[in-house]
Copies of this chain bind each other. A is one copy, B any other.
Amino acid sequence: MKQSQLFTKTRREAPKDEVAKNAQLLIRAGYIYKEMAGVYDLLPLGLRTFEKVVGIIREEMNKIGGVEMHLSALQSAEPWQKSGRWSDEAVDAWFKTKLKNGADVGLGFTHEEPLTALMTEQISSYKDLPSYPYQFQTKFRNEERAKSGLMRTREFVMKDLYSFSKDADEHQKFYEKAAEAYARVFERVGLGAVTYKTFASGGSFSKYSHEFQTVCDAGEDVIYIDDATKLALNKEVYDDPEVYKTTGVVKENLREAKAVEVGNIFTLGTRFSEALGLSYKTAEGKSESVFMGSYGIGPARVMAVVAELLSDDKGLVWPEEVAPFRVHLIELQSDNEEVSKEAAELYRELTEAGVEVLWDDRDARAGEKFAESDLLGLPLRVVVSEKTLAAGKFECVERASGHTSHKSISELIGHLTLR
């Protein structure tokens, strides 16, 4: 894409009311726009990065048998009344509104209830199980305080997968697969080294649930990390002697760290299937409640954590898999028309080779272009100027390492398409 086509502008300063580093950076770089506290728009570059994260999660969910669908945001009270989660006393994050006929409707803050109700029409026999529907869908949560930028918002897309299994055994096998898929997601987005599978309290059907916690000073949580096993405990279970038996970690070896929860997996058991009447007939003709689990990741929060952790004092630094474009092609304006022609040719060849390129074709000074390029944080900067034209090689600078090299078109394409 030509940068001249991009309508967003970078800013020297973040808005004064924005205290979170991730939002400050993303706003300054023109990735997002703040509508109100806890509510952000995704501008073109932000949407592209967001969609990269979504694409990675989608691939990993499909690999473990997930089937994508999409539920509504507007929710009728009925299924929530059955589970006991409709009243504002039970759930204080509800946004509610009214239909013309006066009926109350809620804006889904999660989707266990409506999906369980829906599944009563789809599941009747053991032959219909297991099943793993998931979605990327907007959740609304009436947060009291929303000060962490994109890390805690009032409106956000969540990938929520729900597992429907015959029993605890079948559930447990999928639960482990889901945990592995989650680890792959965080690895691919660039957070693998600092993200810990963290034991948290479970509920009626499992002693523990698991959070994926990324170490981050801006995080709202505190976790206790065992570096030897790469496991962690959250505050809820830290003082529970049982968890040390289960995990084999030694309390004295743990180190405390601030962290942000980037994903969680939870054994729901029959909590919702019993409340909403989701049962199936076994091979022997017996009626059993379906055994459920839930698995959440917020792609925009992941994007925020990457922005927060991998940035430097010049701006954002995106890993390749989540960058909005892989190459930032900087054309330095000159009186020599050949520079512009060469940039156009390089843009064409890279695009044809399947490389995503943001081409800075604007009329601006070199210093300004470089500073802006650092702020935007694309993995590889390629400069076309009179100097590179004379040399017959482009200057290539890696954003993360600062490593500079000089490459011809064919060397560059070879480098970028080699996998």
Contacts and interface: CB of A to CB of B under 8 A. Distances in A.
A35 B100 contact: no
Contact of A72 (B35, B99, B122, B131): B35
Contact of A70 (B8, B41, B68, B114): B41
B70 A123 contact: no
A264 B69 CA distance: 28
A187 interface: no
Contacts of A9: 121-122
Given A47-B69, A47-B70, A122 B35 contact: no
A202 interface: no
A277 interface: no
A29 interface: no
Interface string A202-216: 000000000000000
Interface string A98-129: 11100001010000001000110111000010
A310 to B, nearest CB: 23
Given A41-B69, A41-B71, A75-B35, A7 B133 contact: yes
A200 to B, nearest CB: 26
A192 B121 CA distance: 36
B67 A42 contact: no
A67 B5 contact: yes
B69 A42 contact: yes
A129 to B, nearest CB: 9
B35 A76 contact: yes
Nearest to A71: B41
B6 A100 contact: no
Interface in A126-155: 128, 131, 133, 138, 140, 142-144, 154-155
B35 A74 contact: yes
A174 interface: no
A157 B239 CA distance: 47
How many interface residues does chain A have, given as a range? 35 or more
A128 B67 contact: no
A219 interface: no
B155 A7 contact: no
A283 interface: no
B72 A44 contact: no
Contacts of A100: 142-144
A272 to B, nearest CB: 16
A99 B153 CA distance: 12
Given A36-B74, A76-B35, A69 B43 contact: yes
A40 interface: yes
A138 to B, nearest CB: 6
A96 interface: yes
Given A33-B118, A97-B97, A73 B138 contact: yes
A65 interface: yes
Contact of A140 (B67, B74, B98, B143): B74
A105 B96 CA distance: 11
A73 B155 contact: yes
A10 B74 CA distance: 24
A43 B134 CA distance: 10
A14 interface: no
A262 B288 CA distance: 46
Contact of A99 (B75, B131, B142): B142
23 contacts: A5-B65, A5-B67, A7-B128, A33-B121, A35-B114, A36-B74, A36-B105, A40-B72, A41-B69, A41-B70, A41-B71, A44-B67, A44-B69, A44-B133, A47-B68, A47-B70, A73-B73, A73-B138, A95-B98, A96-B97, A97-B107, A99-B142, A107-B107
